[in-house]
Amino acid sequence: MAGLLDGVNQRTQLVGKNRLELLLFRVGAIRQRFAINVFKVREVIPCPKLKRVPDAHRNVVGIGNMRGQTIPVIDLASALGYRANQDIENGFVIITEFNRNVQGLLVSEVDRILNRNWEEILPPPKGAERGSYMTAITDFEGELIEIVDVEKVLEEVIGSIKDVSEEVREHVREGGDELRRVLVADDSLVARNQVKRALEQVGIESVLVRDGKEALDQLNAWAEEGTLKDQISLLISDIEMPEMDGYTLVAEIRNNPELKDLYVIMHSSLSGVFNNAMVEKVGADEFLPKFKADELAKAVLDKIQEHATHSDSN
């Protein structure tokens, strides 16, 4: 166990070609194993002494000082709808960075790191993701492993600013005939709805898909119908997605003569210099860490209106 915990931080520096590593764990008294992408894990530590916070969300068991930083700790068993962890002192905290925030996820047991290709990660059955806390599933040792939708957990516990500000809305050019339609690829239902809501507020239609493969299939279908630029303005893509991740999706787009000129914004809860470098390497045009409605809406508006201005000048 010590070797696993010591090595997690180093493993997060790995990135494969359409592959990922999953940290398997258990919550509360549940024997089923769950998973989270190692890439989002800073480290795993035995649960430190926690201090209760008055009026905190019911799933926040306290705050702890970890490497000089005060971090809220969420009881993942309770957050996923199971009985709350009854043995906090003997639990473990997975320290994660999502959507520009650092938080701890309290689990009862850390099991192992599992290496997988994204092709082995499948989306949940259609309709199953609504109301659930999984973004994807995989099989290991005959057991179904649920990959936790941490973004949904954080949305319920911490919340987010969902609306675009009046200041950004004022920059929407009225009466333009530019195409206001974008494709959004993200495996999290919460994230897809956040993006859709933000774009609707600045008059932009969004077509939503659950993963890179669905996105590529949709782009190819549009390309067969006619010129792609007449169908879609740009693509907003998550990085981590079942079947085909965002990096592979962009590489496929750039290698296809009919798709290669599509403007691509990578929009991910993964953040930092490393991801900017990877985005540049695979050929995406822009990287935005999740989730700020204003930032996303402005980036899309600027690109659409820039293209319209360029077209008018010609």
Q: What is the pLDDT of residues 261-271, one digit of tens each?
A: 999 999 987 65
Q: How confident is the model at residue 2 (pLDDT cuts 50, 70, 90)?
A: very low
Residue 184 in this model has a pLDDT that exceeds 50: yes
Q: How confident is the model at residue 119 (pLDDT cuts 50, 70, 90)?
A: confident
Check residue 208 and give its pLDDT: 96
Q: How confident is the model at residue 38 (pLDDT cuts 50, 70, 90)?
A: confident
Check residue 14 and give its pLDDT: 43
Lowest-pLDDT choice from 1-15, 29-43, 54-68, 112-126: 1-15
Could you give the CA distance from residue 99 to residue 151 in angstroms, rounded to a whole number? Answer: 8
Give mean pLDDT, residues 209-238: 93
Q: How confident is the model at residue 138 (pLDDT cuts 50, 70, 90)?
A: very high
Check residue 276 and give its pLDDT: 64
Check residue 75 and give its pLDDT: 96
Residue 46 in this model has a pLDDT that exceeds 50: yes
Q: Are 104 and 160 in contact (CB under 8 A)?
A: no
Q: What tens digit of pLDDT does each residue of 285-294 get?
A: 998 888 888 9
Q: How many CB atoms lie within 10 A of CB 145?
A: 21
Tokens 């709350």 label which residue? 84
